[in-house]
Chain A
Amino acid sequence: MSGQSESGGAARERELLLAFVDMADTLVDDYDVVEVLHRLADYCVSLLGASAAVLSLSDQRGGLRLMASSPERAGLLETQTEQGPSLEAYLTGELVQIDDLTTATTRWPEFTPEALAEGFHTVQAVPLRLRGQIIGALNLFGRDTKLGPRNLKVARALADTATIGILQERAIRRGEVLAEQLQRALNSRVIIEQAKGVLSHAADLPMDHVFPYLRTYSRDRNLHLHDVANDIVRGHLEPGAIVDAHKARDRHQPRSAP
């Protein structure tokens, strides 16, 4: 649980290495932006000991949009795109770090109570930088302790690797390409939210349960999350197929509920 634990030796080194390889794969491989960002958020939780991780990207209209979160529930704190550490890190380009959120109720009157109600007491928000431009923020929540300096450094490095891959650093020296890629990524997230709505209603599942269904379906078939979501919304893929696949998968490899 402790984010400070740097022991664990070779196994941990190997896990970290694999995480970097995974993020760096976006440079050469076909990838899905939202899926990559979710994996990055997952690594911050599973490998680095954050209690939750939330990634937001610039909407290029002066604000942020939430792109990925781990656990998914942390994304419910939607005010963090309008107020809070992510937005401050994005606007200032500096690390925003609060060791005790109870001292930040006047600083962020809406965000802080919501975060405290979720049991979070620390935040560390890192700006996502690319070629002098800030294109978003990664916010790490902690229940008790924040990430130690080494793990925070790893989180930054993972985020930088993913950012470079996702936004195809070499191409974005031109502003128009950055705009195209960012806007496409934002729209991809909207499609996924629409697909969650279809799936939730058609399969009578709570809204905050359906994302893992989409994700595992896509991963198991090596499909892009974006394409699967798009097919669901356009009626080319039956919601029942996703649910059945998920059930079948659970039967074969029992895992804890999301």
Chain B
Amino acid sequence: MNPADVGAIFAIPLRRGTARVGAIDMYRRTPGWLLDAELSTALKIADIATSALLTASNTGADGEIDEMWLTTLPGNRAVVHQATGIVIAEFGIPAEQALARLRGYAFVTDRLLDEVAGDLVAKRLHPRVIDR
């Protein structure tokens, strides 16, 4: 895209609480703000990208991202964020890694992230089992 053709740029941070993985830049030929539906789509794309990148950061440079991460919208329930905090406190790791471990654990045990998070918050599951 020729810089002269850029009418608008939309930059959306890829973050979940304190976990930050970057930003997504979107370019459009026509100037002006987004319609509600366009903004909604852009934010959902950023949500999915955040999840995918958080997972990738856990599997390493050669880790392939399972299609599942790209097709499921990330859980946004309070328990997931609280469970992230529990894993941070247990291992002294940053939020990015804590979230990645949680998602990885849910994936290998074939459970929903919400369920695993709920178990951690209710103390039915100790975070030490999520040592990956």
Residues of A participating in the B interface, judged by any CB pair closer than 8 Å: 59-62, 65-66, 75, 78, 174-176, 179, 183, 187, 190-191, 193-202, 207, 230, 233-235, 239
- Given the interface pairs A198-B89, A201-B85, A201-B86, the reply to whether A61 lies near B43 with Cβ below 8 Å is yes
Q: Which of B36, B44, B89, B94 contacts A201 (CB 8 A)?
A: B89
- The residue among A75, A175, A183, A194 with the most chain B CB atoms within 10 A of its own CB is A194
- The residue among B43, B78, B90, B94 with the most chain A CB atoms within 10 A of its own CB is B78
Which segment, of B15-23, B53-61, B64-72, faces chain A? B15-23
Question: Do A200 and B81 have beta carbons less than 8 Å apart?
Answer: no
In the complex, chain A residues whose CB is within 8 Å of the CB of B39? 60, 175, 179
- The CA-CA distance from A65 to B17 in the complex, in Å, is 14
Q: What are 20 A-B residue pairs whose CB atoms fall within 8 Å in the complex?
A: A61-B44, A62-B40, A75-B78, A190-B76, A193-B81, A194-B18, A194-B88, A195-B85, A196-B82, A196-B85, A197-B86, A197-B87, A197-B89, A198-B86, A199-B89, A200-B86, A201-B86, A233-B85, A233-B88, A234-B94
In the complex, chain A residues whose CB is within 8 Å of the CB of B43? 59-61, 183
A74 to chain B, nearest CB (A): 13
- The CA-CA distance from A202 to B76 in the complex, in Å, is 23
A146 to chain B, nearest CB (A): 27
A51 to chain B, nearest CB (A): 21
Residues of B participating in the A interface, judged by any CB pair closer than 8 Å: 15-18, 33-34, 36, 39-40, 43-44, 47, 76-78, 81-90, 92, 94-95, 121, 127
In the complex, chain B residues whose CB is within 8 Å of the CB of A197? 81-89, 121
A36 to chain B, nearest CB (A): 19
In the complex, chain B residues whose CB is within 8 Å of the CB of A59? 43, 76
- Given the interface pairs A198-B88, A200-B85, A201-B89, the reply to whether A191 lies near B17 with Cβ below 8 Å is yes
Question: Do A199 and B77 have beta carbons less than 8 Å apart?
Answer: no
Could you tell me the dominant secondary structure of chain B's interface residues?
A: helix
- The CA-CA distance from A196 to B87 in the complex, in Å, is 12
Could you tell me the dominant secondary structure of chain A's interface residues?
A: helix
A23 to chain B, nearest CB (A): 25
Question: Do B90 and A201 have beta carbons less than 8 Å apart?
Answer: yes
- The residue among B47, B82, B87, B95 with the most chain A CB atoms within 10 A of its own CB is B82
Question: Do B17 and A187 have beta carbons less than 8 Å apart?
Answer: yes
- The residue among A59, A66, A175, A193 with the most chain B CB atoms within 10 A of its own CB is A193
- The CA-CA distance from A234 to B85 in the complex, in Å, is 10
- The CA-CA distance from A59 to B43 in the complex, in Å, is 9
B117 to chain A, nearest CB (A): 9
- The CA-CA distance from A212 to B33 in the complex, in Å, is 39
- The CA-CA distance from A207 to B86 in the complex, in Å, is 10
